[in-house]
Every structure is written in structure tokens, then in C-alpha cells.
Amino acid sequence: MTKAERRRFEILKTQIGCIACGNPVICNAHHLLSGGRRRGHMETIPLCQPCHVGDELSIHRTKRKFCEIYGTDDELLERTNALIGQFEASIVGKC
């Protein structure tokens, strides 16, 4: 894992909250797939435990319904990247 990928995971897990339900908790970094294969560490989104692997509505158990409610993988990735950009911009000059 590169330094940039490690930084992304740290932000995903601790700074953004769940991109689906908005729960402001420590999240899992969910790897997006393309053709059943991981796209890579830079194509990850933050999901709380219930949205990641929960029983009723989660990306791993009920993906079609999950995407109907919260958005497609690409939409969630776009929102995630925008939030990461906002977070990074907010800390520039504070170090």
C-alpha cells in the first residue's frame, strides 16, 4: 500500500462517516468491484458496519436494493472523493 492509499484509508475510516447512511462512526473501507475484481485501494468508500455487512440492507448482502437507496458504486465514490477533498482542504495550513 502506498503512502497516499494509507492516507485515504485513514480519512475514510475516521473522518468522513458512512457515505451511505451518514452515521458518524469509525467505518470500514469498502473496495469497489469491477467484473468481480477489486478496482484498487484508491477506489474505496467508507461504510459503517451495518451498511457494509449488515443483515437487512448492506452492500454485501442486498447490493441491488442498497444501490437503489444510496446510489451506485460510482456515485458513492464521487461523493467520497469530494468529501476527502473537502477534508484535505480544511486541514491545509493547520499543520
Domain locations in the chain as residue ranges:
7-82
Residue with the bigger pLDDT between 94 and 48: it is 48
Residues 40-88 have pLDDT tens digits of 999 999 999 999 999 889 999 999 999 999 999 999 999 999 999 999 9
Predicted TM-score (pTM) of the model is 0.92
Residues 22-46 have pLDDT tens digits of 999 999 999 999 998 999 999 999 9
Q: What is the DSSP string of 21-72?
A: T---S--EEEEPEETTEE--TTSEEEE-HHHHH-SSS-TTTSHHHHHHHH--
SS (H, E, C) 80-93: HHHHHHHHHHHHCC
| pLDDT classification of 91: cutoffs 50, 70, 90 | confident
Of the options 3.30.40.190, 3.40.109.10, 3.30.420.40, 3.40.30.10, the CATH number for the domain spanning 7-82: 3.30.40.190
Checking if the pLDDT of 93 tops 70, the result is no
Checking if the pLDDT of 94 tops 70, the result is no
3-class DSSP state of 94: coil
